[in-house]
Structure 1
């Protein structure tokens, strides 16, 4: 049966969404609570008991080899039906290929090859910014020298955690109700989670026993709401390119960098938060250079973090990798890397008199390099404009 280009592209989009379903990196590299408990019992003298066998006990819930083959078949069919020169096909092909690499990465959890895939998919602190001799690590060291001179509590109501979880739920539900008009977005309480908050596509979970500052709520609204949920919903609202609500590794830096940038644009961030994000970049660099889990833990502790924060931050660096060092998960460099890339993109658009392109950073979960293509396809009637935008992106004059 004859089909239009749009119908074919939509079909491949839906096939991709189905093929990558259930492929979640962080679920596959999570640590049981006992692992950290044992580190505490050793008084931080013994490395976490994590190796290849630890991850082999975490079921993926699917056959990764079959998933790789399914994604490869989508690419082959798409190239045959739509050609290899179509701009949107190129984006969707890149998503398929990255999920294949992500699946290969999950097949070597705990091995040195895990780091090879991590570096390929998420980058490394050693990577240089486009057109610059400055590496991500160089920027991290520069920011460290600046941020370490600013008092921890500067600009932050750190001692005023006066909002209980139920009150936070009611406050955020009211905010999101105003922002996501017509959408089933909600905040719920969770009695079992470890972190204070976590976001899914249309839901933010708050730990039932957690307390928050007013600034915490502002950050949750902007970072998790406006950016992470907003781009997911804008992607889901696409008539054709619904794959834009999914988050392959290639969009991680843009997403996380955009969230950090929005915190700054909306004046809700503060120095201690910036320092924590930057310290994770430097911790990843240390792990690449050979620091083990305990070395990284001590780095965070010497920087003045509470022990639980030190453990959680060190765990983030070594999930899926080797706790002895050299082979970390490099995902946490995304915040700083993406911040710079997004800022440079927005500045370039404004300088070129093309500020109308900038809101398409929110059209879905995108890589910043794809945004001009997506804007052009919007003009051609294939991509739908983002429905949910931060206030300062609705009036483009505020960006100039």
Structure 2
């Protein structure tokens, strides 16, 4: 067990980390104003948006980058001084300090080539591979799109109508969360200040008041934004010492999105169109990383069947923080990349008979690479088990069975199966 005075020091240092990162708002710092969209469509999508380094300089970050970087460096030194360099708490919190300093550098570099390079360091690149000789993230996305294309072309799997007004969607989603997350207080509210359809905070989910929703979309928001994003934030806030686990670094964001996508799938909320949207994000990032500009990516989206508004929204996600003829912001790789990392971790835990460890993934916002440290700190009484655990992690029998059979079935040759069963599927 860790000595009491060290735990007290860890709590104080953790609170300092929370306070230091509080003014950092990555998406607020890089999103484009609504006027950029209006101007783009005014010119019928034929003129690059007027975004350059000066555009970003006109948007206040809300903090002094030099001063804040110094604050993280000082905190990192104090962590080592008070807890020791080899302490697992030190390793966990020092990693967070390093990542936040890289985030600050990235935001300082908005509108320059360095923005993309730092984005790649934090979130990855579409040409990344999990192992030598395996497909890249971009290639994995293309492989996933092949079966999705067939599913999207059939009339047997129609998408539900978006016929729920935002105000009604708030009431419906609130009722769902009151039932499935009764242990926590989660508020659903309308917002006109978000770019996406929905976003999650520490204890609330905001729905874009200008958007209509389908019931399926609300079901996805319940598990993705509610069970995972809000749930892990609240679990982090309830930690007795490491409250900094309530705040997500970029590497933790990858894990978070992977957990959220896995949850959508295993709870049968997701749809082929939803997964296709995640695939299209990777393809758009890969296209921009290969030199395509904003108009190239936008037109490609139209050719893939998106509406002008959908294609613009996707393309803006790719180029936010950068320039319309620059290299991409790579955060949208997190969904599929995180899914693969989390899925593989769960598979190995099942194989090694350590499935009881898996709920610790929800003890806060943590990176897969830090999971061993989290387990060690849990055993030492530093990290507590998650206060809120969603149903599919609360009773692991279904998840374990599904993944075990999935691994078993994955050993079959699909080419041979297709040949054997082709005559039966007409």
Tell me the TM-score range normalised by the shorter chain.
over 0.9
1:8-52 deviation per Cα after TM superposition (whole angstroms, max 9, x unaligned) = 111110111111111111111121112121211111111110000
CA distance in 2, matches of 1:393, 1:32: 39
Runs (4 or more) in structure 1 with deviation over 6 Å come to none
Determine if contact 2:92/2:373 at 8 Å carries over to the other structure. no
CA distance in 1, matches of 2:131, 2:348: 13
1:214-245 deviation per Cα after TM superposition (whole angstroms, max 9, x unaligned) = 11111010000001001100001101010001
Gaps of 5+ in 2: 401-426
Matches within 5 A, 1:287-302: 287-302=288-303
Q: CA deviation at 1:372?
A: 2.6
Give 2:368's aligned residue. 368
Determine if contact 2:266/2:399 at 8 Å carries over to the other structure. no
Determine if contact 2:160/2:215 at 8 Å carries over to the other structure. no
- Tell me which moved more, 273-282 or 158-167: 158-167
Q: CA deviation at 1:202?
A: 0.8
Determine if contact 1:165/1:211 at 8 Å carries over to the other structure. yes
SS state at 1:321 partner: coil
CA distance in 1, matches of 2:156, 2:258: 21
CA distance in 2, matches of 1:169, 1:156: 26
Q: CA deviation at 1:165?
A: 2.3
Structure 2 vs 1, CA of residues 98 and 271 (structure 1 numbering), >3 Å: closer, same or farther?
A: same
CA distance in 2, matches of 1:359, 1:130: 26
CA distance in 2, matches of 1:132, 1:334: 21
- Tell me which moved more, 49-58 or 157-166: 157-166
Which TM-score applies when normalising by structure 1? 0.95
- Tell me which moved more, 231-240 or 379-388: 379-388
1:112-132 deviation per Cα after TM superposition (whole angstroms, max 9, x unaligned) = 011110011111011111466
Q: CA deviation at 1:200?
A: 1.2
Matched, 1:181 2:182: yes
Determine if contact 2:183/2:388 at 8 Å carries over to the other structure. no
CA distance in 2, matches of 1:316, 1:331: 9
Give 1:237's aligned residue. 238
Aligned residues: 398
CA distance in 1, matches of 2:203, 2:25: 17
SS state at 2:152 partner: coil
Which TM-score applies when normalising by structure 2? 0.90
CA distance in 1, matches of 2:321, 2:164: 35
Structure 2 vs 1, CA of residues 53 and 156 (structure 1 numbering), >3 Å: closer, same or farther?
A: farther
Give 2:408's aligned residue. none
CA distance in 1, matches of 2:133, 2:341: 12
Gaps of 5+ in 1: none
Determine if contact 1:190/1:208 at 8 Å carries over to the other structure. yes
Structure 2 vs 1, CA of residues 138 and 300 (structure 1 numbering), >3 Å: closer, same or farther?
A: same
1:151-202 deviation per Cα after TM superposition (whole angstroms, max 9, x unaligned) = 2576755352232223322222222223333533111122454433222111
Give 2:97's aligned residue. 96
Q: CA deviation at 1:5?
A: 1.2
Matches within 5 A, 1:321-332: 321-325=322-326, 327-332=327-332
Determine if contact 1:251/1:367 at 8 Å carries over to the other structure. yes
Matches within 5 A, 1:215-226: 215-226=216-227
SS state at 2:151 partner: coil
CA distance in 2, matches of 1:155, 1:390: 30
CA distance in 1, matches of 2:337, 2:133: 13
Give 2:15's aligned residue. 14
Give 1:335's aligned residue. 335
Give 1:391's aligned residue. 391
CA RMSD of the aligned region, Å? 1.7
